[in-house]
Structures are given as C-alpha cells and as structure tokens.
C-alpha cells in the first residue's frame, strides 16, 4: 500500500499546498487525487506570486481581463477564482462522498486586511459568493482582529480556513470564534453545519530557534507545539459545549497542520508528515513534500491524544531561554507581514505583466 494511502486510511486528509494553472491543465492534480489520496488544496499569496511570475500560462487570461478594464487586485482575484473553482470541481466528488467533511480548496482574503475586521468580513463574503462553490474555504488570519471576522463569517454561512495560527492559545481562540458563530446560527434557527479548519503552522517554530538552543532540542519545538495544540483540539471535541452543538447538527472544526515542509536540509524531508499522523486532522503539504512522502514515506505512530511529552519538551525550551508565548506572537506578526510582502510582490508582478502584455498587443 502506498504511504499516502496509509496516511489517508489512518484518518488524516492529505492536502496539497500549491496551485498553478499547469497543475490543472496537465492533469497532475487529478493524478495526485487518483494515485496519492490527495483530497484538498490550499493557496496563499506566495503560491500565486510564484505561479504567475514563473509561467506564461496566465498571459492569455490577463490579456482578457485587461480588455475588460480589470487591473491590480481585482484582476488577481478573477485569476485566482478561475484556478480555484476548477480545482474545487475536481474535489467536488470527494466533498459529496464525505458529506462535506473533505474535498476543499482555500482562497485567502487580501493580507492587507489582516488587522481590519470589517473589511475582512466583507471580502470573505464577496469571494465566497463569487466562487459559487460550496467546497471553497475563505482563509482568514487568526489575528486578534481576524477573530471577530471568523465568527461573523461562520454566522453568515461562509466556510472558513483560519490561517496564521502558531500556538495552542491562538488555536483555541480561533476555535472559540468558530463555535460562537455556530452557536449564533443555532440560536437564530439557521443550519449550523458550516465547515471550518484551523491551520497551525509548524516548521517556522524550528526555523525561529535554529542555533539558539542546545543540539538535543534541534527540530523539536514545532512538533511539541503541535502536540500541545492537538491535546487542546481533542479536549474541545469532547467538551459539553461542542457536543451540544453537534447534537444540533453542527460539525467539528478540524485541526490542520500547515507549514509542514522541512526547512532544515539536514533533517528528514518528511519529518512533519510522519510525526504528525493523527486521525481527523488535515496535513497540507508543499508539492515537494508530497512527492517525497509518496516516494519514501513512513507513517509514524499517531500523535498522542494527551499531547505525549510536549510539556516536558516545552519546559526544556523555556530553560534554554525561549519564551513560547512571546515567540508565538512574533511568528504570527511576522507571518502576516510576510504575506503582505508576498501580496505586494504579487501585485507588482500583475502590474509588470499587464504593462508588458499591453505593449506587445
């Protein structure tokens, strides 16, 4: 049995953290679905920046949109929606087979709105309505300002992928925002079955402390953070409040492992896949990591529901001078800034390509 199938059979969803027009038109994404048990897909500004910058596949649609008077951010979202709705259609049979548990694609609101609750909500509702696909998540950052937008989006019936979560505390805050939206739907007599995932970023923890801790702690922080959050996830799933919501027809928000590509060239290229095997979760991985796991993957023991040794490991990091809470806040802030930088680069590529195509026409 293929490693990807083993992971899927354990109860974890494998999603691809990538989208390009070539993936769609070449049949590669369809092959990943059919042969490697891929059941969903995520995107972000960096992915689209690389896709548009590194390919001529987008030249024709950009020309068409320019002819219609589109430009800048509006032009980008038309391109992104074209790709992601195609991908959503490929995953639609999975969405139907799993009754809406799996088979999703994700599109992010503008990172410039990460600290603007009202605009984030308006953008989320608009993008979901334009996509006209029930299996499309709108990605909203789990920042302090993003939490009210998450609650309101869920209340409005918009499926949400909460992004930029780095710690147990940030995850729990996002999960509670989701549940507030669900409970409000129940109180209003609305269908509470609105899907959501909460994306916890893993590898950036180990990058942040590389060279700052003893060798014995090398590449152990991200996994310890993940195990701590997983225990909180299991506890929430079993909590009376969540069970009351299930009894009214709600579905659980799933925990998603993000940033699972290994950044350390000396470490295993499947480390964050093998070590994060866990039922009823999602692992969204870069294409290179997916290929590596399909080639030589090994499914490890499931993440302990009680978090295993995470607290002991985190205590060792504290002794080494690492302030977990402060670092979590910094990673979230840095992540938001990184997405803004990628967004600005992306819009710059759109502008330069638009100018070149206008000149050539």
Query: Which residues are catalytically annotated?
Result: 139
Q: Which residue, among 50, 46, 1, has the nearest Cα to 22 in the 3D structure?
A: 50
Residue 298 in 3-state DSSP? coil
- Report the C-alpha gap between 161 and 320 in whole angstroms: 34
Backbone angles phi, psi at 200, to 5 degrees: -100, 120
> In 3-state terms, what secondary structure has residue 38?
strand
Residue 256, sorted as left (phi over 0), alpha (psi -120 to 50) or beta, turns out to be beta
- Assess contact for 169 and 229: CB atoms under 8 A: no
Distance CA(273)–CA(7), nearest Å, equals 9
In whole angstroms, what is the distance from residue 256 CA to residue 283 CA? Answer: 6
Query: CA-to-CA distance for 229 and 323, rounded, in angstroms?
Result: 17
Torsion angle of C-alpha atoms 290, 295, 296, 299, degrees rounded to 10: 50
């Amino acid at each position: 049995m293929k490693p990807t199938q083993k992971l899927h059979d354990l109860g974890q969803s494998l999603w691809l953290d990538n989208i390009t027009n070539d993936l769609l038109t070449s049949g590669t994404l369809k092959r990943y679905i059919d042969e490697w048990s891929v059941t969903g897909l995520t995107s972000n500004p960096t992915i689209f920046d690389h896709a548009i910058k590194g390919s001529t596949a987008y030249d024709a649609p950009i020309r068409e949109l320019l002819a219609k008077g589109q430009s800048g951010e509006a032009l980008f979202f038309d391109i992104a929606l074209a790709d992601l709705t195609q991908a959503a259609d490929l995953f639609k049979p999975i969405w139907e087979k799993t009754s809406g548990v799996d088979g999703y694609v994700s599109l992010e609101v503008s990172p410039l709105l990460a600290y603007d609750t009202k605009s984030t909500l308006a953008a989320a509702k608009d993008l979901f309505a334009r996509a006209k696909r029930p299996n499309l998540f709108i990605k909203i950052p789990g920042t302090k300002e993003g939490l009210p937008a998450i609650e309101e989006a869920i209340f409005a019936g918009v499926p949400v992928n909460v992004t930029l979560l780095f710690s147990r505390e940030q995850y729990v805050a996002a999960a509670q925002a989701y549940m507030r939206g669900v409970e409000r739907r129940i109180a209003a007599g609305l269908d509470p079955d609105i899907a959501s995932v909460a994306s916890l970023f893993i590898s950036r923890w180990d990058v942040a402390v590389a060279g700052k801790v003893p060798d014995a702690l090398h590449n152990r922080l991200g996994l310890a953070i993940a195990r701590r959050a997983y225990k909180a996830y299991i506890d929430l799933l079993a909590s009376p409040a969540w069970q009351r919501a299930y009894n009214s027809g709600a579905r659980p928000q799933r925990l998603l492992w993000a940033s699972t590509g290994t950044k350390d060239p000396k470490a295993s290229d499947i480390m964050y896949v093998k070590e994060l095997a866990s039922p009823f979760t999602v692992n969204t991985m870069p294409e290179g990591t997916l290929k590596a796991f399909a080639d030589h993957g090994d499914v490890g023991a499931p993440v302990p529901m009680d978090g295993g040794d995470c607290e002991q490991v985190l205590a060792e990091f504290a002794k080494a001078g690492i302030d977990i809470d402060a670092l979590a806040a910094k990673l979230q802030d840095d992540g938001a800034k990184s997405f803004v930088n990628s967004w600005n680069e992306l819009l710059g590529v759109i502008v330069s390509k638009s100018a070149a195509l206008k000149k050539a026409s």
